[in-house]
Amino acid sequence: MPHLPLMSHSSHLSDFFNVENNDAACQARAGRISTTHGDILTPVFMPVGTQATVKGVHPMILQELKTQIILANTYHLYLRPGSELIALASGLHGFMGWNHPILTDSGGFQIFSLRDTLKLDEDGVSFKSILDGSMHRWTPETNMSIQHQLGADIIMQLDECAAYPATKQQVCDAVVRSANWARRCLHFHLNGDMNARVNPSQALFAIVQGGVFQDLRMQSINSLLDIESDAQRFNGFGIGGYSVGESHEQMFQSLGDVTLALPLDRPRYLMGVGNPTTLLRAIALGIDMFDCVLPTRTARMGTAFSSEGRLNLRNARFKEDFSALDSACGCSTCKQHSRAYLRHLIISKEMLGATLLSIHNLHYLINLMKEARDAIIAGKYTQFLDSWLSSAAANDY
C-alpha cells in the first residue's frame, strides 16, 4: 500500500470527533466519533473482546444491544492467533465478522502487569508470552505495525504503565518514556517505513500517565501536546494509570484537572473503568469513552448490576424468586428470565447463565451511557447525576 501524504491523513480524520452538546453546569459533553465502520455517539462504554470475542455474547446479540464499538486486546491477539494471520483476514473486522467500530489497546497494560518477566529500555520492551514462555520484543514502531495489521478503527500508543504503588521517580520515568514512545508511535503511524502499510482510516490516541501525582499528569499532557504540529496530531487521548489501587476520591480529584488540560476537540478515554457510578462521575468531568471487563467478568461470577445495586445471583434468597432480574431494565434477559432461573444456571455452571448476565450487564452500561447522553443534550446532566448518586443503584462499587 502506498504511503500517504501527511496532509491527506490529517484531513481525512479532521472530522473524526465533534462535540455536539456541552452541559452548562459541568464538563459533561455529548459527541460523535466518525469511523469508516460507523459513527459512535458519546459518552460510550466499549465492551471488551479480549480474544476477538466478547466472552459469552454472540455478535448478533451484541448488535441487538446496540453496541457501538468493542475493544480487543493487542497483547492476546498478537500471541494468538497472531496479528499476521488476522491481517490475512483483512484485519479484526473480517476475522471476527464484526462490521462495526473496533478499538485495540496497545498491549502495554498487559505487559506491565507482568513486571517480573519483562526487560525495559528506552527503545522498547522485551517480555515473556503467558502462553508458552517465549520471548518477544516490542518497540513503539513494531507495536504500531501490529495494530496496523489488526486494523482497528482506533489504536492506542504503546505506553509504560507504572505499578501502584510506585515512587514518584518511577512514575516520572514512565511519563517521560511514554511521551517519547508517543512521538515515535505518531511518526510511524502516519509515515510507516519501507515495509509497513499505513491505513489512513485508523485513528491514533496518545495516553496520559502520571499516576496520582498531579504535576506529573500535567507534565504528561504537556509533553504529548508538544509532540503535535498542525499536520501531525493525535486523534484522541487515553487516560491510563487509574483504577490500579488508588481510592475513587484520589482518582476523581486528579481526573477533573486532567480533562481541563486536554484539548476540547479530541475525545477523552478513561481506560479500564466500568463501575456505573464511576462512569457517571467521570462523564461530569468531561470523559467521553470507557472500557472494562467488569460487566462480563462479574457476570461470569454470577453478579449483576441493577437498580438496587449489585446483586449476587448465587445468594439463596433468589432461589424461589421468579421476578425479573431488574424490573427497571428492558433487556432481553430481564424481559424473559427470572432470578430463580438465572440462579439455577449459575449454580449449575451452565454457559447460558454467564451469557444472560453478560447481556444484562452490557445493556445496563450501554443504556446508562444513552441516558447520560440524553441528559447532557437536555442540559440536565448534574440533576441526572445527583439523582443517580442518591439512588440504590449507586451502590455498585
- Applying CB under 8 A, the span of 204-212, 215-223, 306-314, 334-342 interacting with a copy of itself comes to 334-342
- Our answer to whether residue 291 is catalytic in this structure is yes
Binding residue (CB under 8 A) for a copy of itself from 40, 46, 48, 52? 52
How far is residue 154 from each of residues 60, 73, 96, 175, measured CA to CA in Å? 22, 12, 16, 22
Kindly tell me which of 97 and 245 has the beta carbon lying closer to a copy of itself: 97
Please state the closest distance from residue 336 (CB atom) to a copy of itself, in A. 4
Is residue 344 within the footprint of a copy of itself (CB under 8 A)?
yes
Please state the closest distance from residue 352 (CB atom) to a copy of itself, in A. 4
Please state the closest distance from residue 331 (CB atom) to a copy of itself, in A. 12
| Residue given cell 434468597 in the structure block | 317
Contact pattern from residue 68 through residue 107 relative to a copy of itself, giving x for each residue in contact according to CB under 8 A and a dash for the rest = ------------xx---x--xx----xxxx----------
Residues in contact with 167: Cβ distance below 8 Å, sequence separation at least 6, in sequence order:
none
Contact in structure between 125 and 119 (CB atoms under 8 Å): yes
Kindly tell me which of 94 and 309 has the beta carbon lying closer to a copy of itself: 94
Strands 268-270 and 289-292, how do they pair? parallel
Binding residue (CB under 8 A) for a copy of itself from 18, 21, 34, 51? 51
Binding residue (CB under 8 A) for a copy of itself from 33, 44, 57, 258? 57
| Residue given cell 482510516 in the structure block | 201
Kindly tell me which of 56 and 151 has the beta carbon lying closer to a copy of itself: 56
Kindly tell me which of 268 and 343 has the beta carbon lying closer to a copy of itself: 343
Is residue 332 within the footprint of a copy of itself (CB under 8 A)?
yes
CA distance 4 to 272: 33
Identify the DSSP state of 49: -
Burial of 319 (0-12, 13-18, 19+ CB in 10 A): exposed
Is residue 316 within the footprint of a copy of itself (CB under 8 A)?
no
* 375-392 burial: b if 16+ Cβ within 10 Å, else e: bbeeeebeebbeebeeee
DSSP 3-state of 334: helix
CA distance 351 to 348: 9
Other CB atoms within a 10 A radius of the CB of residue 7 amount to 10
- Applying CB under 8 A, the span of 32-40, 280-288, 306-314, 318-326 interacting with a copy of itself comes to 318-326
**Torsion angle in degrees (nearest 10) through CA of 235, 81, 142, 148:** -30
Q: Which residues bind a copy of itself (CB under 8 A)?
A: 51-53, 55-61, 80-81, 85, 88-89, 94-97, 319-320, 322, 332, 336-338, 340-341, 343-345, 347-348, 350-352, 354-356
* Residues designated catalytic: 105, 291
